[in-house]
Structure 1
């Protein structure tokens, strides 16, 4: 489960940001995770309490937003969700596409008290 290591890196980033900006308490941390990323939201949620224990984020609420795994068809320029359409353009039936989004893992928002 690589999620714990990556999550701890994100927590360090948030703590450093908070210290540099004089933030002493954080209410909510919002993460964005793409459908096509190697991160599994369920695992992030499960390991979050252990990852934040003893940190500035210990009592912070975690919110996760899932970003769609969209692609653009190189044949007909249709934008579609890869997962919902099983990697096939629903417009022309081709599998010649380029990923537009969905591989992200980002800190979207830090809500301070």
Structure 2
């Protein structure tokens, strides 16, 4: 499980941001995780308390938004969800596509008190 290392880096990044901006407490931290990324959201949620313990984020609420794994079909140019359609365009059955989204891991929002 590499998520603990990922969350330690997120906490460090948010703490640096807070320090640079004179923020002493974070109310909410919003992360965006693509459904095709190698990061598992439930593990991120489980690791967050340990990563945040003893930091300004220890009382912070963590919110996770899951971003869909979408692709653009190279045959018919339609956008579709890769997972829902088992990597095949539902419009023309083509398996040749370009990924548009789904591998992201972003700090979307930091809400200070």
TM-score, length-scaled by structure 2: 0.99
Deviating 4+ runs (over 2 angstroms): none
Say which SS state the counterpart of residue 55 (structure 2) adopts. Answer: coil
Kindly tell me the number of residue pairs found equivalent between the two proteins.
113
* Inter-partner Cα distance in structure 2 for 1:98 and 1:4: 31
- 5+ long unaligned stretches in structure 2: none
* Inter-partner Cα distance in structure 2 for 1:49 and 1:10: 12
Corresponding position of 1:5: 5
- 5+ long unaligned stretches in structure 1: none
Instruction: Verify: 1:41 aligned to 2:41, yes or no.
Output: yes
Corresponding position of 2:28: 28
Corresponding position of 1:112: 112
* Inter-partner Cα distance in structure 2 for 1:67 and 1:30: 13
* Inter-partner Cα distance in structure 1 for 2:47 and 2:7: 8
* Inter-partner Cα distance in structure 1 for 2:36 and 2:86: 12
* Inter-partner Cα distance in structure 2 for 1:39 and 1:69: 13
| CA-atom RMSD in angstroms | 0.4
* Inter-partner Cα distance in structure 2 for 1:10 and 1:69: 22
Summarize the alignment of residues 4-83 of structure 1 with structure 2, pairs less than 5 Å apart. Answer: 4-83=4-83
Q: CA deviation at 1:7?
A: 1.2
